[in-house]
Amino acid sequence: MERRDFFKKGTKAAVAASVIPMITTAHAGPKDIIYNRDTDKWYNLGSGKTGIPNRKKTADYDVVVIGGGAAGISAAVSSARNGSKTVLVQDRPVLGGNASSEMRVHLNGVNRLNSGKAERETGIIEEMLLLNRFDNEQEAFPVFDHVLYEYVVREPNLTLMLNTQAIEAVMSGSKIKSALCWQATTEMLYTLNAPIFIDCSGDGLLAATAGAEYRTGREAASEFNESYAPKIADGWQMGATLLMSSKDMGRPMKYTAPSFAIKYDFERAHPKRKFAGFQDGIWWIELGSDDDIIAGFEENRHRLMGYLHGVWDFIKNSGKFPEAENLALDWVGSLPCRRESRRFMGDYIVSEKDLTEHKHYPDAIAYGGWPIDEHVPGGIDSISKQPTYFHHHFDDIYEFPFRSLYSKNISNLMFAGRNASQTHIALSSSRIMATCALQGQAVGTAAAICIKKNVTPKEVGKKHINELQEQLLRDDVYIPKRPANDPNDLAKKVNLIFASTTSSGDVKLLTNGISRDIDGQINHWMSKGLPAELQLEWDTPIMVSAVELKCDTNVKRNIMMRKDSRNDKLYANGVPKEMVKAVRIQGRVNGTWKDLGTIELNKTRLIKFQFLSTKVTAIKITITETYGAKDVKLFEVRCYA
């Protein structure tokens, strides 16, 4: 489909728009688009009319986000919350991307460092996973779809479009003017106009059609001095996996492989192609490409379905798995879970040494820590090779810079997730969904700054990076080695802060700008018993309208949903017992305490109170209940006018 087919005045519009200031845009409208259904022979028996159905719509937004996975949701929600009218465009019927019920990959993050502990991502991704703990204790992937749906549709400034694919960027010079989107379920062609576009779709079709520079394949080791990269660059992209799950039927179950099954060659298989946990799927049933992985997707999908049934046939009928006798497949994937395709180029390309040597960036906005986990070229076709190479495990988390999240040549385009600006080897670690979500929150927040200040993403990176980092920190993102220092935070100007009891940490740490215990340092206050009170005193009265707390949810323990419902020291499948459940805020007005807000059933780590602006000399925070812990632990208190 050629872009020009859609426009009458494409060339003129592009020339005219190129002299218009960056953010202000000449919007395309329905009249610009040739998509007339004038040959449609609809005779509506109900109305008795014959006519042309309306199949074209145009909408204006501040920010258009493409892709409804962890990165896209995070981008859209953060953009909307920070004041931008936002639309989230998702090409599937469900949200969640690789973690949706269509694919069912565990939403992993910094699950385990060499210390043996997690360093869980906070901010929006944490909110989603906590909501899942409340609403999906049974850990069902289809329910997770709806948890994410609830999380998105409840945002007042955010519009969700499902079953809608962004197929083409309409350009004005080096700027995207509109995204043409096709909504399959309604046969509707949408033109979405906006000053800022964010592509979190993984494959990045919108960004590619915009002309954003991108690469696929593996860099040569010499280009970025990468020790795990091949000597000579090649086109290999890691494979997509097709998962499945089975159910114990309580009686022997037969299995006959379908005609398209590909026999599993056990004799040639590398011993590291293990079957542990096979009843919930096998990750190494994967196929990639050394050329055009997107064009080859359907062919790979068919072969993966064949491999999946071949492996299951081996499990059921080889006699090597007596424990599988009562098992039957109760779900089989039809949509492979993609790891790698396009990587768009930003002003910085993150590479292996940046991760392993823990490069510190002045524009750090996210972090990662999954091992450098490069899946084998060929995937399951390379049956005699081990399925992945864990080149490097991390002692500590690494930083990720903002400069890798906007296009170097398309002025109003950002991206987050596996299509960010990085090498193949860096992607082998940073592709993990919770890491992508942190990037998503960063670009969503940056988009809102672009809108407020009428600047490009590049200008945010150059002139407003402090503001971006401060907003992310306020919104509960952790940025390594970057304590918050918000000049508007009145809690930092407090004359005295004290607690009713203390069992560990110090109440003074609640304003130090670091909202987790990390790098061997304690940054918390913990009460001795409940209820517990905190009091902040100012010697001069202040106007306050918001109080924000960050409570403990135990970021050293994973809370992502897993099919196996692990529940041990590293994984928990319930609501973290440490989290605050009930809390009350009071302000002292003319010497008398006045109630400012009460939460009885808190469900977030970042707890926000907003109330009418009130002149107070003190704030009292009373925590009456957690979800099980006998003491309450907080990491931060903020107050705003």
Partner 1 sequence: MCIVIFFLSILQKENHSYQDNDNNIEHKVVLHHPGEKMPVKALLTQVKDKTGFTTGYFMDVESVICLENVCKIIPVRLYWNEIGEYQRYTLEQGATLEKYEADVFATEDYKKLHTILQNKNSPFKEVYIEDILTVKNEIADNVDAISGATALELDPEDTVPGAALTCFTLWHWANGEITPIIKQLTATTATNKQLIVFINTKSTTHYTLALEQLTQRNLYQKKYLEAIFKTLKSKKSPTKPTINYLETATEKDYLKYIKKLFYQGNVEQKIAALKSIAKTDSPTTPLYLDRISSYANTLQSYQEVVALLNMLEDKKHFSEQTANNLIPLLNADFLTARRVYWFLSNKKLTNTQNQKVIMFKNLYKNKI
In 10 A of CB 291, how many CB atoms?
11
Tokens linked to 636: 């931060």
DSSP label of 7: B
Asked if 567 interacts with partner 1 (CB under 8 A), we say yes
**Alpha helices in 464-539, H assignment, sequence order:** 465-474
What track of x and - describes contact with partner 1 for positions 328 through 367 (by CB under 8 A)? ---------x-x----------------------------
Asked if 138 interacts with partner 1 (CB under 8 A), we say no
Asked if 104 interacts with partner 1 (CB under 8 A), we say yes
Please name the residue that has the structure tokens 């937004």: 61
Q: What's the closest the beta carbon of residue 540 comes to partner 1, in angstroms?
A: 5
**How far is the CA of 427 from the CAs of 110, 219, 337, 369, in angstroms?**
14, 12, 15, 12
Asked if 626 interacts with partner 1 (CB under 8 A), we say no
Judged by CB under 8 A, the residue of 501, 503, 622, 624 near partner 1 is 501
What track of x and - describes contact with partner 1 for positions 191 through 230 (by CB under 8 A)? ----------------------------------------
What span, in angstroms and rounded, lies between the C-alpha atoms of 273 and 381? 12
Strand partners, 398: 368
Q: Which of the stretches 29-37, 447-455, 498-506, 605-613 binds partner 1 when contact is defined by CB under 8 A?
A: 498-506
| SS3 state at 310 | helix
Asked if 617 interacts with partner 1 (CB under 8 A), we say yes
Sign of the Cα torsion 358, 361, 367, 370 reads: negative
What span, in angstroms and rounded, lies between the C-alpha atoms of 35 and 8? 11
Nearer to partner 1 by C-beta: 324 or 345?
Answer: 324
Nearer to partner 1 by C-beta: 105 or 212?
Answer: 105
Asked if 395 interacts with partner 1 (CB under 8 A), we say no
Q: What's the closest the beta carbon of residue 562 comes to partner 1, in angstroms?
A: 8
DSSP label of 278: G
Q: What's the closest the beta carbon of residue 455 comes to partner 1, in angstroms?
A: 36
Q: Which of the stretches 13-21, 162-170, 240-248, 573-581 binds partner 1 when contact is defined by CB under 8 A?
A: 240-248
Q: What's the closest the beta carbon of residue 337 comes to partner 1, in angstroms?
A: 6
**The CA-based dihedral angle spanning residues 475, 476, 480, 483, taken in that order and rounded to the nearest 10 degrees:** 70
Residues 272 to 331 in contact with partner 1, rule: CB under 8 A: 272, 274, 276-284, 286
Judged by CB under 8 A, the residue of 29, 498, 594, 615 near partner 1 is 498
Judged by CB under 8 A, the residue of 371, 401, 513, 587 near partner 1 is 371
What track of x and - describes contact with partner 1 for positions 535 through 564 (by CB under 8 A)? x-x-xxx--------------------xxx
Counting residues that bind partner 1 (by CB under 8 A) gives: 55
Q: What's the closest the beta carbon of residue 190 comes to partner 1, in angstroms?
A: 33
Tokens linked to 312: 């299951």
Asked if 431 interacts with partner 1 (CB under 8 A), we say yes
Q: Which of the stretches 24-32, 299-307, 458-466, 565-573 binds partner 1 when contact is defined by CB under 8 A?
A: 565-573
Strands (DSSP E) contained in 492-561 are 496-499, 504-505, 525-526, 532-551
Q: What's the closest the beta carbon of residue 66 comes to partner 1, in angstroms?
A: 22
Contact 152, 88 (CB under 8 A): yes
Please give the full DSSP string across 399-461, using - where no structure is assigned. Answer: EEEGGGSB-SSSTTEEE-STTSSB-HHHHHHHTSHHHHHHHHHHHHHHHHHHHHHT--HHHHH
Contact 565, 141 (CB under 8 A): no
Task: Tell me how far apart the terminal alpha carbons of the chain are, to the nearest angstrom.
Answer: 53
Which residues contact partner 1 (rule: CB under 8 A)? 104-106, 108, 111-112, 116, 241, 243, 245, 272, 274, 276-284, 286, 337, 339, 370-371, 373, 388, 390, 431-433, 495-496, 498, 500-501, 529, 535, 537, 539-541, 562-564, 566-570, 590-592, 617
